[in-house]
Amino acid sequence: MRSTPRLGLVALTRALLPKIIERKGAVINLSSVAATYPYRGGAVYGGSKAFVRQFSLDFAATCTAPASE
């Protein structure tokens, strides 16, 4: 199953990253409490928001890791 919001988030971040680094900018992703608090009928929405949250956390960890890693 393809998910346009998830693919869009990754593709846009990847495409803009060189300019963001060049300008010493930042990446800001918005998610939802649905990423961590399940509710009836929210599996797809919550899963999508959980992806945004985890992608953001992992992306930040990757970008702040020492170059030798």
Q: Quick one: pLDDT at residue 63?
A: 83
Q: What is the pLDDT of residue 6?
A: 78
Measured distance CA(38)–CA(24) in Å, rounded: 36
Tokens, residue 14:
């990847």
Is residue 3 scored above 70 in pLDDT? no
Over 90: is that where the pLDDT of 67 sits?
Answer: no
More reliable by pLDDT, 64 or 14? 14
Q: Answer yes or no: 37 catalytic.
A: no
Residue from 10, 29, 44, 45 carrying the catalytic annotation: 45
Where do the structural domains in the chain lie, given as residue ranges?
Answer: 4-64
pLDDT digits (tens, 9 = 90+) for 6-60: 788 899 999 999 998 899 888 888 889 999 999 999 998 999 899 999 999 999 8
Q: How far apart are CA 23 and CA 13, in angstroms?
A: 14
Residue type, 47: G
